[in-house]
Amino acid sequence: MLGTVGCVGDDLDPAPTGSQPTPDTEADPVPDPTARFDFSCVGQALPGKASDPVMISALTNDSYTGGLLPGVAVELRAVDGDHILAAAASDATGVATLAVATGYDPVPTYGRMIHAGHVDSYLYPSGPLWRDERNMFLPVLSPAWRDELAGYAGVDLDPSRGIVEVIVTDCAGERVEGATVAFDPPADAVAYWDPTFTDASATQTTINGHAWGFNVPAGEVHATITIGDVTYRDWAVRSYADSRTLSWRAP
């Protein structure tokens, strides 16, 4: 039961006399933070078979403006062995098309995006590549916005370390509000951005599902994501010096 905020007038009320009804002292139940989201896939096995080849139609864009960018060099790389599976440059409309031979086995992959005037950027999906992907956004971060965000987060950027950005979703791809993200190794600062990306004071993800770790040591990184009694599947990514890693995370 919610308490009543006191005020001066409360002191003027006479003390109760006679028999009074016994108040309900049971606390209201705490809302389940997971109830709004689809967690039906929690604990399910990852896909065991893949299409061959897998076709990817990607859109390269600026993280700040959202506008499509031509001329972004895109590499799709294998997590195991770190070799290039496919490469392309986005065309005049910001579209890049890649084909990946899988041998019918799902392939853990990540994307590397390089564009003049932008921070080298990396993208890790929340699972292995196993089927065709359409309109996959591959964003690159501008140095000016990176510096602005670091300022809002109250951190001085260390060029020997990187930014690891996590976007938390549910099984249906909806952004998850109310999740916590812990980075290992730790970040110097974790920013749970508000929708305007100017307020980093939240202690859990807001409606956009974003959690940014600043100055994460270069190398393998694990992000432990929890909401209520749900803990997300562990999916290692990497932090890169003076770069930004985007990690989409589904349960």
Name the domain count of the chain. 1
Structural contact between residues 120 and 114, judged by C-beta atoms closer than 8 angstroms = yes
Residue 94 lies in a domain: yes
pLDDT value for 31:
78
What are the tens digits of pLDDT across the range 230-239?
A: 999 999 999 9
**Angle value at C-alpha 157, between 155 and 163, nearest 5 degrees:** 95
Instruction: pLDDT band for 28, please (50, 70, 90 cuts).
Output: low
Q: Indicate left, alpha or beta for 43 from its phi (over 0: left) and psi (-120 to 50: alpha).
A: left
- Name the pTM for this structure: 0.87
Residue 119 lies in a domain: yes
Q: Which domain holds residue 214?
A: 54-249
- CATH assignment of the domain containing 131: 2.60.40.10
What are the tens digits of pLDDT across the range 96-105?
A: 999 999 999 9
Question: Among residues 186, 142, 147, 145, which one has the least CA distance to residue 164?
Answer: 186
What are 56's two structure tokens? 């990817």
Residue 43 lies in a domain: no
What are 190's two structure tokens? 């974790």
What are the tens digits of pLDDT across the range 193-226?
A: 999 999 999 999 999 999 999 999 999 999 999 9
Distance CA 237, CA 220 (A): 6
Residue 26 lies in a domain: no
What are 241's two structure tokens? 């010096």
Residue 9 lies in a domain: no
